[in-house]
Structure 1
Amino acid sequence: MKIDNKIKWGIVGLGNIAHQFATDLLLIEDASLAAVASRNFDKANDFAAEYNCPKAYDSYEAIFADKDVEIIYIATPHDSHADLSIKALENGKHVLCEKPLALSFEDAVRMIEASKKYNKFFMEAFWTRFLPAFQEIFAKVKNGEIGELTYLNADFTFCADLSGLNRLTDVKRGGGALFDIGVYPIFISYIMLGMPKEIIAKAKYHDTGVDVQTSIVLQYENAQAVLHTDLVSSPSMKANICGTKGRAELNAPWFMSDGYSIIKDDREEKFILPNLGKGYSHEAIECHKCIRNNQIESQLWSHQNSLDLSEIVNKIKKQIGLPF
């Protein structure tokens, strides 16, 4: 079916995640990739050609000024998220900004305030929240399927190239495990259990000062979450949510899971819910729904949700002594 009133996207920052997002965007009938931008014009031109995109820019200011672009997906390094999001909003664009929202809670607040000031949709790109399997398991947990929650554990790790100065080792760019991937296990604890009463965190560091390994305990009134993130190992990457009547387990890797299990009375029931593409498509579809409904935030991952998560992450940042 041909859809005439497609929502026109622009992409800023053309690294690996932008390629994955653009690939998934092609699967959405009412989405169109209208423009891309990079500081390197050859890179922008090649990216545009790969995804049949009509416009390539060598400046972010140019894509923000493009009247054909309705929503900007910001996929640049962490340290630029706040300024670029605010500039896009100032230019009348809706914004989907990659996680983490910002390197400080204060910047996250500025971004949300800009969304409200300019009355434009703004969302942090926590794609996991919108995956079919995650939405279903979240609903079941909240409806008491496994009883009162008592324990949760989740990790996100991978073996990274830590030699020399790169995106992951550079303090100025917000490198390290916590801000790059540690936000994921913190996210699932927050979405399932809410704001913790106490935070305990310990880290190991790279020579540059970023964390390469961080372990976190979030203490709640009646539950604990044990979380881990690092750039030096490859664990199972499952997520377990335990309650008084059973437990739920998201298939590995849990943050892009296409299924889950419910284990009760020593019986396991498995559920499979395939993603559209890799799964970035689902957050884009949510953006479309909100924009068409004249909403400036999503009810599934709201401005307040992003602020809460930023507050938790920044408390951990200060506890482990990250210098940015």
Structure 2
Amino acid sequence: MSQKLRWGIIGLGNIAHHFVKDLALVKDASISAVASRSMDKAKAFAEEYNVHFAFDSYNDLLESQEVDVVYIATPHTFHSELAILAMTHKKHVLCEKPMGVNAEEVKKMISASQENGVFLMEALWSRFNPSIVKVKDLIDQGEIGPLAYIHADFAFYALDRDLKGRVLNPKLGGGSLLDIGIYPIFLSYLLLGKPKSILSTSHFHSNGAEVQTSMIFKYPKAQAILYSGFTSKSEMKAEISGEKGSIFIPTRWHEAQGFSMARNNEQEEFSLPTTGRGYFHEINEVHQCIANGKLESDLWSHRNSLDLIELLDTVRKQNQIIFPFEE
């Protein structure tokens, strides 16, 4: 392996553009190859970001000896198959969230990582956001006391989107829950672990896609009120309250640049801007883990990804959210 980790990107939608810009900020990273089902799209992306290799075959990228680690940014339904294929080619993998569409897929992906001795991590970038890291540290240190209440939402209007696109297409695992509901669920899980029980309810588009879900996660001494939706906007703020104080993460909390903590009638402000868009931090974690010979991250482990998808599976089961390819 060369001194720099050589990245390949599979799936060249909007998120890949944000990712590659942050990749350029990581000193020991280089972008070596990109792949799309469209050669025109692959060539245009490669030209824009000065990437040497452009492929219209995912398999050709995975067979390339110029790629050490692969970032998978395709629609959800392709994550598991492509990640496992990459790992059988001995490539390390950073896979967009959700890592798989259900627990069965995630278990197979984890097994492939262990069997092939390569690193695998779900690209849950908020876990590595400096503000989220600091919030968890403060809570773990007891700064606001035992937690009693969490509120987190994530919503935007998307009912005008193309029904064949990934957002509203059940055949592509579309719906609000896997796309954005994963964020509020992640925050509750990160801070309180797996709940004792879950209450949830969903609304659906005429094409069968889930477009609105409300959830209550019940813990022994706390509750989390969580929401995701495509039917309207929401403030997208997060509130975390304990017996001694509260933490407030402002609008678009999942990519926070800071937060406030209120205790004893006083409010303390924390400014923790991300490097780049924020993908820098998860990329840096991948590099550190690979350099240390790890197969998984301590901050977001294989177990964490499996727990998260199991929570999503529970909400889906309660609301009979079944994708056509699962029937």
**What band does the TM-score fall into relative to the shorter chain?**
over 0.9
Contact 1:209–1:323 (CA<8 Å) still a contact in 2?
no
2:219 maps to 1:220: yes
Contact 2:163–2:169 (CA<8 Å) still a contact in 1?
no
Q: What CA distance in whole angstroms lies between the structure 1 residues aligned with 2:81 and 2:118?
A: 16
Which residue is 1:240 aligned to? Answer: 239
Q: Percent of counterpart pairs with the same letter? A: 47
Q: CA deviation at 1:163?
A: 5.0
Contact 2:245–2:263 (CA<8 Å) still a contact in 1?
yes
Q: Is 232-241 or 303-312 further displaced after alignment?
A: 232-241
Q: What CA distance in whole angstroms lies between the structure 2 residues aligned with 1:17 and 1:158?
A: 17
Give deviations 1:174-218, integer Å, cap 9, x for gaps.
000001110000000000000110011101101111111100000
Which residue is 1:146 aligned to? Answer: 144
Which residue is 2:155 aligned to? Answer: 157
Contact 1:146–1:243 (CA<8 Å) still a contact in 2?
yes
Alignment of 1:13-162 (within 5 A): 13-160=11-158, 161-162=160-161
Which residue is 1:286 aligned to? Answer: 285
Q: CA deviation at 1:146?
A: 0.3
SS at match of 1:67: coil
Q: CA deviation at 1:170?
A: 1.0
Give ranges in structure 2 of 5+ residues lacking alignment.
none
- The AA in structure 2 aligned to 1:111 is M
Q: What CA distance in whole angstroms lies between the structure 2 residues aligned with 1:30 and 1:269?
A: 36
Q: What CA distance in whole angstroms lies between the structure 1 residues aligned with 2:40 and 2:64?
A: 19
Let me know the Cα RMSD of the aligned residues.
0.9
Q: CA deviation at 1:167?
A: 1.3
* Number of residue pairs aligned between Structure 1 and Structure 2: 321
Which residue is 2:205 aligned to? Answer: 206
Contact 1:79–1:103 (CA<8 Å) still a contact in 2?
yes
SS at match of 1:169: coil
Q: What CA distance in whole angstroms lies between the structure 2 residues aligned with 1:27 and 1:163?
A: 34
2:255 maps to 1:256: yes
Scaled by the length of structure 2, what TM-score is found? Answer: 0.97
Give deviations 1:117-161, integer Å, cap 9, x for gaps.
101000000000101111111100111010000000100111113
Give ranges in structure 1 of 5+ residues lacking alignment.
none
Q: What CA distance in whole angstroms lies between the structure 1 residues aligned with 2:243 and 2:228?
A: 27
Scaled by the length of structure 1, what TM-score is found? Answer: 0.98
Q: What CA distance in whole angstroms lies between the structure 2 residues aligned with 1:33 and 1:162?
A: 31
Q: What CA distance in whole angstroms lies between the structure 2 residues aligned with 1:235 and 1:175?
A: 19
SS at match of 2:82: helix
**1:12–1:163 distance in 2 versus 1, CA, 3 Å:** closer
Q: CA deviation at 1:253?
A: 0.8
